[in-house]
Amino acid sequence: MGEALIARLLSYGIYAAGEISVGEPSEARRQFLAATYGVVTTDRNAEVIDGADVLVMAVKPQIFSVVGQDLQNYASKPPLLISIMAGVTLAQLEAAAPKWPVVRAMPNTPATVGAGMTAIALGNHTEAQHCQWAEAIFGAVGAVVTVPEHLMDAVTGLSGSGPGYIAVVIEALADGGVAAGLPRATALQLAIQTVKGTAELLQTEGMHPGVLKDRVTSPGGTTITGIAELEAAGVRSAFIEAVRAASERSRQLGS
């Protein structure tokens, strides 16, 4: 996810390569990032923090306690700290970086192709400018919404885990196409484009999904017949319960 942010920020011209520094312990990874993107790399996090306006923590939450030590006792004006670590709360971030402006973010995997959905929650010391910076950074990889932190688990259950749900939907649609006689490759192409096109139509038209569903269901037609089967199988309630269960699991992991 960190690399996806770098790539999109550079392609949109939000930052120049020389303005981005990356702290990375792996020498091979540092060489790759420097050669591919022209960014400054180092194995010392202190060099990244020093003089930065924005610091993005794109590390696994399991090593936060170690990396967080580099944030202690920062003497000069602290940068904006943006965390994309799942389950690490604003309180934990602010304890590691006292009086720093902090933003907690939850992007999802489509961000790697610029079609992500990111929710951000603001810490106690953030100001309007900090929010604008965070929105610009994550706007480079998709859409951004601001939520109170207590809703971040619900965000995780919906948009964070959602790509997995939609992958299952696409796979199931393709399987249905194969069962109906289509070649596998054709069925998969049809399923992917159908899901993509439907999402783009809803977004472009600002249309409620129920309105689109009503538009494409004619009396006694194929679509209403298929929808009746989905309702009989409890597909709608299954998705609702999937989001609720994933949200609860997110709460458990963060506690």
Mean pLDDT over the full length of the chain: 93
Domains delineated in the chain: 2-149 (3.40.50.720), 162-254 (1.10.3730.10)
pLDDT for res 68: 80
Confidence of residue 120 (pLDDT cuts 50, 70, 90): very high
The secondary element (H helix, E strand) that includes residue 203 is: helix 184-205
pLDDT for res 46: 84
Tokens linked to 5: 């942010």
Please say if the pLDDT value at position 236 is more than 80.
yes
Confidence of residue 110 (pLDDT cuts 50, 70, 90): very high
Please say if the pLDDT value at position 94 is more than 80.
yes
d(CA 168, CA 141): 23
Tokens linked to 217: 């269901």
* Residue 71 · residue 97 · CB < 8 Å: yes
pLDDT for res 62: 83
Which range has highest mean pLDDT (14-18, 113-117, 134-138, 175-179)? 175-179
Q: What is the mean pLDDT of residues 109-130?
A: 94
Please say if the pLDDT value at position 198 is more than 80.
yes
Residues 34-47: pLDDT tens digits?
A: 999 999 999 988 88
The secondary element (H helix, E strand) that includes residue 93 is: helix 90-96
Please say if the pLDDT value at position 102 is more than 90.
yes
* Residue 48 · residue 21 · CB < 8 Å: yes
Angstrom distances, CA of residue 6 to CA of 129, 137, 203, 240: 21, 9, 26, 34
Please say if the pLDDT value at position 160 is more than 90.
yes
Picking from 26, 22, 31, the residue whose alpha carbon sits closest to that of residue 1 is 22
Confidence of residue 66 (pLDDT cuts 50, 70, 90): confident
Residues 178-188: pLDDT tens digits?
A: 999 999 999 99
Considering the entire predicted model, what is its pTM?
0.88
d(CA 85, CA 88): 6
3-state helix, strand, coil in the chain (%, to 5): 60, 10, 25
CA 88 to chain centre: 15
